[in-house]
Amino acid sequence: MKLPPDQLEIDFSIPVDDPLTVGQIARAMKLSTGKIFAAIERGDLQAVCNHRQSADREHYVVPLRNYIAWLNNEYPDELYFRFPPHDQISVQRVAQAMACSDQHIYNLIDDKEFPNARNQGRPGCRSHWIIPLTDLVKYINRNRVGAYS
């Protein structure tokens, strides 16, 4: 089938998840995961490591907006994520925004990754922690993949 001159045949898909795993991007682009990792390591495709103790490749995630920017050959300075609009964010909302478990966020709090996190409940109660948005942004920027290569 011949396409009109103003249309291009697109040989990739856009997954609906946000953020995306490297495997999802590789399948959508019909490329190897190695090529996707290479784009991340060059800083062309902005990703973040979502693991508290290692920066292994399998822990990289890419916000959907960053994937779309990459498809359009755009290289923004900022890493795009869907942040909750409030300045103080619950552990559950942070975990949802980062696509990880609540326990992972509690571990990050214990490791002082969110230095201004506060427990608004009684001592020892994990369900009432809040994290300032600025702490979350700083954490993500510290853990960006390819940001300083």
Give the amino acid at 22.
V
**Backbone angle region of 20, left / alpha / beta, with phi > 0 → left and psi within -120 to 50 → alpha:** beta
Question: So what's the pLDDT on residue 7?
Answer: 42
Q: Is residue 115 part of a domain?
A: yes
The confidence score (pLDDT) of residue 17 equals: 74
Q: Number of structural domains, the chain?
A: 2
CB 119 within 8 A of CB 125: yes
The predicted model scores a pTM of 0.51
Query: Would you give per-residue pLDDT tens digits along the chain (149 residues)?
Result: 444 444 444 556 666 677 888 999 999 888 999 999 888 888 788 888 776 555 556 678 888 888 888 888 887 666 666 555 557 888 988 888 888 899 999 999 999 999 999 888 777 666 688 898 878 878 887 777 654 44
Cα 66 to Cα 100: distance, rounded to the nearest angstrom? 18
Domain extent at residue 139: 88-143
Residue 8 domain-assigned (yes or no): no
What is the Cα–Cα distance from 11 to 30, expressed in whole angstroms?
8
Cβ atoms of 51 and 25 within 8 Å: the answer is no
pLDDT of the residue at 11 = 59
From 19, 12, 13, 16, select the one nearest 79 (Cα to Cα).
19
Whether 95 and 62 share a structural domain: no
Point out the domain boundary residue: 52, 80, 108: 80
Residues 70 and 94 in one domain: no
* pLDDT at position 109: 94
The reported pLDDT for the residue numbered 63 is 84
Q: Number of C-alpha atoms within 13 angstroms, CB side, residue 32? A: 3
